[in-house]
Chains A and B, each alone.
Chain A
Amino acid sequence: MSGSSSEQAYEYLVLLPRQTHTKLYEQPSTVLAVFRCMLPHLAKTIVMAMLYMPTPFSAVDLEAWFRPEGKSVKDKALSALERLHIIQAKQDATRHMHYELSKGFANSLRQALTGGGTHRSFGVPSSTPDPNKVDTEFLDAYARKQWENILFYMVGSTVGLASSAQLSQDIGLGTKKLLEMGNFVQVRSGRVSITREGFTFVLQETNAQVWSLLIVYLRHTPELGMSETDVLSFLFMLGSLELGQDYTTSTLSETQLQMLEDLSAFGIVYRSSKNAATFYPTRLAVTLTSDAGALSTSDSLSSISASRSSSQQGFIIVETNYRLYAYTNSLLQISILSLFTKLTTRFPNLVSGKLTKESITRAVKLGISSSQILSYLTSHAHPQMQKHQPFLPPTVMDQIRLWEYEGERVETTPGFLMRDFKSWDEYRDLKEYAESLGVLVWHHDEKRWFFVNGVDQLSLYMKKKVTRGGE
């Protein structure tokens, strides 16, 4: 399970067939979003270098552009680009390899950068002023309420909050169904219990949570009679809208109107009523396509400093003696903490407790991994803790990991064993390629065997080699 939200979306996206990709790349907003948050950093550099290049980029030149030590990152970047069908490797008449950007992608990206065309894919602002205009604070509060309700619904029953029964009424039937389909919760005889995936979900960063839920939504779009492409491009469009601006619904398709209803249940968009002619994206929507969400705040330094001092950054302090103090009064945060902490005292604005072997192993048994706990603690660390690098005391980090490993004596990796190589060179060549892609897990040089956790790129590579050799 990857923590980063964009990685999840990337993993979903690469599995789509080429036709879907081609169709998706017709929308400049989608292309821009894919470019901004799905591509590895170096891949962006390569795409931009090729975007206005009059001729295809020959493989020899590309090679020369990179330093020798950058070979593995280059291979990774190229492989990501090929998997998303953004570039194609081609051979010309003189049998020289060169790379070309896919035409649709390049055109749309150029349009997105220059702002040309009439695609209207960045949202059409409402032309008539809205009588019930809402401000950003309202939208934030709305989004937070809706999203916290979802989390409460999931966590509430497990930690035994008395109020969980009422809370579950606050979220829609559709949302409940979705959580069940995503295997985040299980409903047995009317009782909701959270699953292993659910814990992963709850401990993620909000942005990643939104994507996890949306990906479940995407997987089930065919059953609901919606087109996947339509849904995806609408989501990417939402990510490029502006907070606090109302957008008209008149240009949306049937599918997208239906989606609006579902999304407002999650708190991703806000509509004043079901039949309103406008909708407002909330912060959950506009940060969909950014990990940092800082693009729009870059207009002045003063705004950064203002927002920073006003925001509550982190609230958890962990000491080297495993004691934990959390400055919060949110029931949700407390219940999440109680999943892996032995909480002892509660004050109006503070709870304190201890990380114990017992509490950690209990969490591990529930399906929470030590890395999830650590990433949760790190991302909510109090500013005082952030003075140190790393934020958490190393002894605590190590101990939490050790407690987990005590229960887990084996480490498993699903994948493929590659064997029966004809020659040493063939073995070495493929092994090195796998290594540069980062999929090599284990190898045994005498037996000429190795184990990889991903095979599609390797088989492509082998096929290419066969055709090249066959000519």
Chain B
Amino acid sequence: MNAIDGTDRHIVTEGAPPPSLLAIVLDTNPHAWAELHSTLPLSSALSALLVFINAHLASGNANEIVVIASHTNCAEWLYPSPRGPYPSSPTTEPNGNSSEARHNKDHVPGDPNKFRPFSLLEHSILTSLSRLVSSTTSADLASTPTTSIGGALSLALTYMSKAALLREPVANDAANANPLSALADSESATTTRTTLTSRILILSVSGDLANQYIPVMNCIFAAQRRRIPIDIVKLAGDTVLLQQASDATGGVYVKPERPEGLLQYLMMAFLPDATSRRSLVMPTAGGVDFRAACFCHRNVVDIGYVCSVCLSIFCSPTLQDNLCLTCGSYLSLRSATSKTPQVIPRKKKKKKRLGTDSATPGPSAVGTPMHG
């Protein structure tokens, strides 16, 4: 009779696909949305997104959703909304906005025309978003023209990892007391047992993200390891980084030709979960630009300098005190500038094995930066 408690229903029949957790990272960069306003204002993008979220929840009974705003200077939860009041609000706001945030579930009016979970979710996302927008000051806007996608991705990944842990089939006593202790388990053991399939969808409008190359790249590697595909809808701008993200994690990359038809793009290309994708042909980024960004100025470079110890990439040989910015070891790049770095042309007639050898420059030919 335990089933009447409604709590142990995760024992689903074997044939059913595993529940899927979708984290949506919504780029709320005001600069970019202002430019997009004529074709696709934020409000209509949001309504398309809400329909998409509802469709995702309807596609599987145990499906879950997370929405994170990647704002100019911070990453913010939109759903599930943080339980407690905002750190700054309880004292500064006189009309008790904070208590409303805590109890907003009770305040959602019952709408007979709407499925209850949908209206709760919509309410939560809209309130959080409007609070985020109203709390943005012009100083925040002036400080940076881009968006903190790295922070939002990290939030999504941590949430997913926690969700996967909590869904482990066995919550033995030790793990129950401290679920994070299970993190100490070997990585492979936790990923194979997980009963949740996760994916991330980034709705991106901002252009240049190279300034966040390192944090985003780290997120990509983490996602790759946990087998979480990162899907990208690129509404405006173009960035190498996100193309690499979807390519490395096996996600979907779509740059809609007509952004106003966003909903159809979402429904067709991004709704299928891992189970369906196995039998569908999914769009991916065609030619991916694999260039990296340098660690010193965040420029995307074709040819750069590499630290011989930690493999950090630099675009110019002028380093402060001749020290590597990442690992701090002595690195004299200037000695290398006598000859500009060049790509060695592959010799066609040689056998393949020899060919790879020749791709690495010989010790004297180019003058690799010396360490020491």
Asked whether, in the complex, the Cβ of A387 is within 8 Å of the Cβ of B115, the reply is no
> Of A205, A294, A307, which is in contact with the most chain B CB atoms at under 10 Å from its CB?
A294
Give the residues in chain B near A333, CB-CB below 8 Å: 1
Tell me, rounded to whole Å, the shortest Cβ–Cβ distance linking A256 to chain B. 14
Cβ < 8 Å to B, chain A residues 288-314: 290-296, 298-302, 304-305, 307-314
Asked whether, in the complex, the Cβ of B3 is within 8 Å of the Cβ of A207, the reply is yes
- Of B139-147, B220-228, B260-268, the segment with at least 4 beta carbons within 8 Å of chain A is B260-268
Give the residues in chain A near B279, CB-CB below 8 Å: 42, 66-67, 69-70, 73-74
Asked whether, in the complex, the Cβ of A49 is within 8 Å of the Cβ of B112, the reply is no
Asked whether, in the complex, the Cβ of A48 is within 8 Å of the Cβ of B13, the reply is no
Which of B115, B162, B179, B267 contacts A52, CB < 8 Å?
B267
Asked whether, in the complex, the Cβ of A308 is within 8 Å of the Cβ of B170, the reply is no
Which of B59, B61, B80, B267 contacts A292, CB < 8 Å?
B61
Asked whether, in the complex, the Cβ of A295 is within 8 Å of the Cβ of B5, the reply is no
Asked whether, in the complex, the Cβ of A42 is within 8 Å of the Cβ of B276, the reply is yes
Give the residues in chain A near B169, CB-CB below 8 Å: 386-387
Asked whether, in the complex, the Cβ of B2 is within 8 Å of the Cβ of A48, the reply is no
Which of A67, A305, A386 contacts B281, CB < 8 Å?
A67
Tell me, yes or no, whether B159 is within 8 Å of chain A by CB.
yes
Nearest CB to that of B56 among chain A residues?
A: A48
Tell me, rounded to whole Å, the shortest Cβ–Cβ distance linking B43 to chain A. 14
Give the residues in chain B near A121, CB-CB below 8 Å: 112-113
- Bound Cα distance A140, B5 (Å): 7
Give the residues in chain B near A67, CB-CB below 8 Å: 278-281
Q: How many residues of B contact A (CB 8 A)?
A: 69
- Bound Cα distance A314, B11 (Å): 10
Tell me, yes or no, whether A338 is within 8 Å of chain B by CB.
no
Given A37-B61, A293-B61, A387-B170, residue A283 in contact with residue B117 (CB < 8 A): no
Asked whether, in the complex, the Cβ of A144 is within 8 Å of the Cβ of B4, the reply is yes
Asked whether, in the complex, the Cβ of A311 is within 8 Å of the Cβ of B2, the reply is yes
Tell me, yes or no, whether A249 is within 8 Å of chain B by CB.
no
Tell me, yes or no, whether A122 is within 8 Å of chain B by CB.
yes
Asked whether, in the complex, the Cβ of B8 is within 8 Å of the Cβ of A311, the reply is yes
Asked whether, in the complex, the Cβ of A309 is within 8 Å of the Cβ of B171, the reply is yes
Size class of A's contact patch?
35 or more
Given A52-B267, A301-B159, residue A295 in contact with residue B57 (CB < 8 A): yes
- Bound Cα distance A387, B138 (Å): 54
Interface 1/0 per residue, B105-126 and A, CB below 8 Å: 1000011111111111010100
Tell me, yes or no, whether A242 is within 8 Å of chain B by CB.
yes
Given A301-B159, A301-B163, residue A115 in contact with residue B119 (CB < 8 A): yes
Interface 1/0 per residue, A21-56 and B, CB below 8 Å: 000000011001001110001101100110111100
Tell me, yes or no, whether A284 is within 8 Å of chain B by CB.
yes
Tell me, yes or no, whether B172 is within 8 Å of chain A by CB.
yes
Tell me, yes or no, whether A192 is within 8 Å of chain B by CB.
no
Cβ < 8 Å to B, chain A residues 415-463: none
Give the residues in chain B near A378, CB-CB below 8 Å: 11
Asked whether, in the complex, the Cβ of A113 is within 8 Å of the Cβ of B51, the reply is yes
Given A45-B271, A122-B111, residue A309 in contact with residue B176 (CB < 8 A): yes
Give the residues in chain A near B122, CB-CB below 8 Å: 115
Given A245-B110, A287-B6, residue A308 in contact with residue B58 (CB < 8 A): no
Tell me, rounded to whole Å, the shortest Cβ–Cβ distance linking B79 to chain A. 8
Q: What would 29 A/B residue contacts be, using CB atoms closer than 8 Å?
A: A44-B59, A45-B271, A45-B276, A51-B267, A67-B279, A70-B278, A70-B280, A121-B112, A122-B113, A143-B4, A206-B4, A241-B116, A283-B4, A291-B12, A291-B13, A292-B60, A294-B9, A295-B57, A295-B61, A298-B64, A301-B166, A312-B5, A312-B8, A314-B2, A333-B1, A383-B170, A383-B171, A386-B169, A386-B170
